[in-house]
């Protein structure tokens, strides 16, 4: 068992620099990175929960909300790509927050992000049991929960290459399912299958296309934003990429177009074929796969085993999500350890570069959470989940804030933009746009607690409890460690940048127009 030493500070040229021995093995290829990013964003949010968007905002409101959320994703991912390709380390934006803003911010966002994926992974394992009950209703869910849990742990124990390979094939299943749905949806909407030409008739049905006005759009926008979260996993995996300066930009370019097309086309087609007030749309959930909007559309197309097909895809999604959750949490905990923010034991790795003790710790905590859900107090578990409610959005806001300071410090210290392996699109306007929208979501997501009487105090605290805990951790670490916001002219751009790690800048390589276009989708 090798030990990865804590990061240590030293001063050179008036700038505090960090030494950090990162012993993780770089074994993820470009195809792994791309599919990991796609797999992180496409799951039950699209296959099942998207049905709830139509009663809330109508076909127009749902479509517009997912387009706007997709643009937010584009700018967040571009910010992450610019930093991750320049400094491709484990921990990604958690480590960047420490280096470019304030160590206290790095501490707060790292533990919040770790905790959010812990609870998400536990939820996915619980959902796997419910999905299996669709086929085997007389079996106990806990059997399937432990089966999925053991599979996920074994995949992660074999290291990042096997994890990447497993994610590649599970993500591929989801991609194929979505492409087939889009093709069938087009045939149904045009009347080639079923004989009914839908056109835009349902867009003028009752209150459509925009139902419940601005409030309806807000409700769907919150749903769509949370559906996209998970794509940032590509930044965390940059520390184990074979060639991050090539694979991370490619993954970022493709993830936006693929995810946006998959989500937007699927939502658009569902809105053409199903009326927004279809009662089945309100029944969507892990227990009601038969009411998934995709299942209903496939049944209209005459595909009788539609529910079974979609149930298999959903099962793949939850296993993939739990698999990614364990991988992410173990790497985040490892990164915290080597930065001196966690027990030194968690910074140990095997000879093959596996952070074994971090992995074991995260697996144990995840198991504890899903056991609490299954055999413990459901109210207690609900509050555990509520604590992680805003973590994903806060992580995206942190990425945008960190990137803003990264770019300002980079220019202030006289570095050349041409030396960046990747340059974020539409900086800084796109980043400001996303920052405002995401901040609005954090503040507005609990709007429902104020509607009607009496005031929903429990719902209010469950929605917003994560905010004071996040800022409390930030302030507490700042007071105890006496940290300060790092001055722009003191930001360290030398330690562990791509050049010092032996990677090249591929941004200026000559490519034909055909290659440039294909790179957006490959």
Query: How do residues 57-83 score in pLDDT, each as one tens digit?
Result: 999 999 999 999 888 988 998 999 899
Question: Which pLDDT belongs to residue 10?
Answer: 43
Count Cβ atoms below 10 Å from residue 482 Cβ, excluding itself: 8
The CA distance from 358 to 364, in Å, is 10
What is the domain count for the chain?
1
Q: What are the residues facing 241 on neighbouring strands?
A: 28
Band (pLDDT 50/70/90 cuts) for residue 23 is low
| Max CA separation in the chain (angstroms) | 74
Looking at the chain, the whole-number percentage of residues with pLDDT higher than 70 is 85
Structural domain that includes position 496:
2-518
Using DSSP's 3-state secondary structure scheme, residue 224 falls into helix
CB neighbour burial string for 281-302, b if at least 16 within 10 angstroms, e if fewer: beebbbebbbbbbbbbbbebbe
> What would the 3-class secondary structure string for 346-379 be?
HHEECCCCCCHHHHHHHHHHHHHHHHHHHHCCHH
Given a cut of 60, whether residue 30 has pLDDT beyond it is yes
The CA distance from 30 to 32, in Å, is 5
Q: What angle do CA 21, 24, 27 make, to 5 degrees?
A: 140
Q: Say if residues 134 and 367 touch (Cβ distance below 8 Å).
A: no
Determine the number of helices (DSSP H) and then strands (DSSP E) in the chain. Answer: 19, 4
- Give 58's Cβ-side CA count (13 Å radius): 20
The CA distance from 80 to 93, in Å, is 7
Q: Highest mean pLDDT range out of 234-238, 405-409, 437-441?
A: 405-409
Question: Which pLDDT belongs to residue 382?
Answer: 67
Count Cβ atoms below 10 Å from residue 125 Cβ, excluding itself: 30
Give the relative orientation of helices 306-338 and 160-189 as an angle to the nearest 10 degrees: 140
Q: Say if residues 287 and 123 touch (Cβ distance below 8 Å).
A: no
- Do the bridges between strand 2-3 and strand 348-349 make them parallel or antiparallel, or are there none, so unpaired? antiparallel
Complete DSSP assignment for 168-196: HHHHHHHHHHHHHHHHHHHHHHTTTTTS-
The CA distance from 499 to 143, in Å, is 49
Residue 308: which H helix or E strand, with range? helix 306-338
445 DSSP assignment: T
Summary mean pLDDT of the chain: 82
**CATH number where 176 lies:** 1.20.1740.10
150-197 tens-digit pLDDT = 999 999 999 888 888 998 899 899 889 889 989 999 999 998 988 888
Q: Say if residues 110 and 91 touch (Cβ distance below 8 Å).
A: yes
What are the DSSP E strand ranges found in 215-311?
none
Q: Whole-prediction pTM value? A: 0.86
């Amino acid at each position: 068992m090798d030990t990865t030493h804590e990061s240590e500070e030293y001063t050179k040229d008036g700038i505090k620099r960090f030494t950090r021995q990162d012993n993780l093995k770089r074994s993820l290829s470009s195809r792994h990175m791309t599919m990991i990013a796609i797999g992180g964003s496409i799951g039950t949010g699209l296959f099942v929960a998207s049905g709830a968007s139509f009663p809330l905002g109508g076909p127009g409101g749902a479509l517009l909300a997912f387009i706007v959320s997709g643009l937010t994703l584009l700018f967040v991912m571009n910010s992450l790509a610019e930093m991750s390709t320049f400094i491709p380390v484990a921990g990604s934006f958690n480590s960047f927050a420490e280096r470019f803003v304030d160590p206290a911010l790095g501490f707060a966002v790292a533990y919040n992000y770790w905790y959010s994926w812990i609870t998400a992974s536990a939820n996915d394992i619980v959902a796997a049991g419910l999905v299996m009950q669709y086929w085997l209703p007389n079996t106990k869910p806990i059997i399937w929960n432990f089966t999925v849990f053991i599979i996920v742990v074994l995949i992660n124990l074999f290291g990042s290459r096997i994890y990447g390979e497993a994610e590649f094939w599970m993500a591929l299943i989801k991609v194929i399912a979505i492409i087939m749905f889009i093709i069938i949806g087009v045939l149904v909407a045009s009347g080639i299958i079923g004989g009914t030409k839908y056109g835009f008739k349902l867009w003028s049905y009752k209150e459509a296309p925009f139902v419940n006005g601005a409030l309806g759009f807000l409700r769907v926008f919150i749903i769509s934003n949370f559906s996209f979260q998970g794509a940032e996993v590509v930044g965390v995996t940059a520390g184990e990429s074979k060639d991050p300066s090539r694979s991370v930009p490619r993954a970022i370019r493709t993830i936006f177009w693929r995810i946006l097309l998959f989500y937007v086309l699927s939502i658009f087609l569902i809105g053409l074929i199903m009326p927004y007030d279809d009662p089945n749309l309100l029944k969507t959930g892990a227990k009601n796969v038969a009411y998934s909007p995709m299942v209903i559309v496939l049944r209209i197309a005459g595909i009788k085993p539609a529910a079974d097909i979609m149930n298999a895809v959903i099962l793949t999604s939850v296993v993939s999500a739990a698999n990614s959750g364990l991988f992410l949490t173990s790497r985040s905990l490892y990164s915290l350890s080597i930065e001196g923010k966690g027990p030194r034991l968690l910074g140990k790795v095997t000879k093959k570069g596996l952070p074994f003790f971090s992995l074991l710790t995260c697996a144990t905590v995840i198991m504890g959470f899903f056991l609490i859900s299954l055999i413990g107090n459901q109210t207690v578990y609900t509050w555990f989940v509520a604590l992680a409610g805003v973590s994903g959005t806060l992580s995206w806001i942190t990425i945008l804030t960190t990137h803003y300071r990264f770019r300002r410090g980079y220019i202030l210290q006289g570095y050349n933009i041409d030396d960046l392996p990747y340059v974020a699109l539409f900086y800084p306007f796109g980043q400001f746009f996303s920052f405002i929208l995401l901040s609005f979501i954090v503040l507005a997501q609990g709007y429902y607690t104020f509607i009607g009487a009496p005031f929903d105090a429990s719902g209010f605290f469950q929605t917003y409890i994560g905010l004071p805990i996040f800022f409390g951790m930030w302030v507490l670490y700042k007071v105890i460690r006496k940290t300060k916001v790092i001055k722009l002219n003191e930001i360290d751009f030398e330690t562990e940048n791509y050049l010092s790690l032996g990677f090249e800048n591929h941004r200026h390589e000559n490519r034909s127009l055909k290659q440039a276009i294909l790179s957006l989708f490959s």
